[in-house]
Each structure stands twice: as structure tokens, then as C-alpha cells.
């Protein structure tokens, strides 16, 4: 997570008004940029193009009151981590502005290659969330909600095999989302965080039930 300064005099683009957010050419450029950078990437252990996840996160951001800049940041939230590291953040800032770049940076748990060890990265990111601004937390929470819903969907299909897709395995992945939830709950509650809490609780319950059934208890 780098340091990106936000201009206080520049008015955010795509502000939500009484008729909702108007998505303009910048959003389309961001979509095309994300699709190009993530071309060939897929969701874990699937053939689903990775852009599907980015679209899902952007959809959640808009659903939970984000404006155009936040939706653009949602489309680009993984581009630094997965497609170029720190130099990519500079390109995002040049193309889409300081505000978008700041949020993308705040959603990135590593901008270096090779990445630090998994647990170290996750613990560092959770600490970062404690002081992250509300806009970054919104995009980050939307990302986590989309992830958890995908895990739940896959879990219902393949059961315990789903954990083999994750570096942290079963226990590490469950720890990760519990810890994230605890950090999000430190701040003012919102509909998005309540939805995330429900999804994580459902994942924990589902994992417990399937584990108990598999062990014959």
C-alpha cells in the first residue's frame, strides 16, 4: 500500500445525485482497461473470466451508494496487486485520477513481486483497514462480500474441496474473513457490512455443518 495524496480542491467525479449515479466514458474506459489488464485470468479453479468478479464488486459498490469514482476503483481494485505492482498504481492515477488511485492503493495488500508470505500480507492489510478511509472500506467490503458469496456458491457444489483453492486452506480462509469482519465492524455499521456479516456467518455455519457431516458426528 503506497501513499497517494488526494487533492482537496478537486470535486469528485460521478457524484451521486437525486437521480442516481451517471456512469460516463470514464467508467467505460476503466472497464476496458480492467478487461485488458486481467485478460486471460480466471476466478480460482474455474473458467470464469476474472472480469466477472470485478463487475460484481462494481455492482455492489453502486448498489451501496458508491459514485462513479468508487465504481471505477472497484473495477481496478486488483490491477496493482495482480497486473504490475507499484508502477501500475501510477498508471491508474494518470488515467483515472488521484481519488481512484488512492482507493485502489487502499484495496491492495501487496504491490511488490514476489509477494510477502500469505499470512503476513493478510495481517498487514487488516491492520491497514483500521485507519483506512470510508471510501476504501466500502470498495474493500464489496470485494470481500463478492468473494464470500462466490465461496459459498462453490462450497454448495464441491464441498470441502473448495478449500484446496486457497493458500490459507480451510482454517486460514475462515480466520481471514472473521478478522476482516471484526475490523469492518469497528466502524459505523452499514447495510453493506451487515450483508458481509450475514455471508461470513453463513460460510462459517456451512463449513461447520459439512465438516461435522464428513466426520460422521
Domain segments of the chain as ranges = 25-214
Does the pLDDT value for residue 176 go beyond 50? yes
pLDDT at 5: 46
Architecture, CATH, for domain 25-214: Orthogonal Bundle (1.10)
By the 10 Å C-beta count (0-12 exposed, 13-18 middle, 19+ buried), 2 is classed as middle
3-state secondary structure of 17: strand
pLDDT category, 11, cuts 50, 70, 90?
very low
Residue 210 has pLDDT above 60, yes or no: no
Residue with cell 471505477: 72
Q: pLDDT tens digit string along 46-58?
A: 889 999 999 999 9
Q: Rounded to two decimals, what is the model's pTM?
A: 0.88
What is the structure's pLDDT at 216?
Answer: 54
Active site residues: 81-82
Compute the radius of gyration of the chain from its Cα atoms.
Answer: 17
172 class by beta-carbon count within 10 Å (0-12 exposed, 13-18 middle, 19+ buried): middle
Q: Dump pLDDT digits (tens) for 97-116.
A: 999 999 999 999 999 988 89
Amino acid at each position: 500500500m503506497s501513499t497517494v495524496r488526494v487533492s482537496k480542491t478537486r470535486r469528485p467525479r460521478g457524484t451521486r445525485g437525486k437521480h442516481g449515479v451517471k456512469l460516463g466514458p470514464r467508467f467505460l474506459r476503466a472497464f476496458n482497461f480492467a478487461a485488458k489488464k486481467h485478460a486471460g485470468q480466471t476466478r480460482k479453479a474455474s473458467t470464469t473470466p476474472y472480469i466477472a468478479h470485478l463487475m460484481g464488486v462494481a455492482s455492489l459498490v453502486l448498489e451501496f451508494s458508491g459514485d462513479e469514482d468508487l465504481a471505477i476503483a472497484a473495477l481496478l481494485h486488483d490491477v496493482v496487486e495482480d497486473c504490475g505492482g507499484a508502477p501500475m498504481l501510477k498508471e491508474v492515477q494518470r488515467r483515472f485520477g488521484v481519488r481512484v488511485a488512492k482507493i485502489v492503493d487502499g484495496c491492495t495488500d501487496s504491490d511488490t513481486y514476489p509477494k510477502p508470505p500469505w499470512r503476513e500480507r493478510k495481517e498487514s492489510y487488516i491492520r491497514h483497514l483500521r485507519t483506512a478511509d470510508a471510501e476504501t472500506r466500502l470498495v474493500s467490503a464489496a470485494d470481500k462480500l463478492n468473494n464470500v458469496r462466490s465461496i459459498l456458491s462453490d462450497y454448495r457444489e464441491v464441498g470441502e474441496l473448495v478449500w484446496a483453492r486457497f493458500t490459507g486452506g480451510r482454517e486460514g480462509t475462515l480466520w481471514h474473513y472473521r478478522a476482516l469482519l471484526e475490523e469492518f465492524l469497528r466502524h459505523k455499521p452499514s447495510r453493506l457490512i451487515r450483508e458481509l456479516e450475514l455471508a461470513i456467518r453463513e460460510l462459517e455455519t456451512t463449513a461447520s455443518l459439512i465438516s461435522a457431516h464428513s466426520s460422521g458426528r
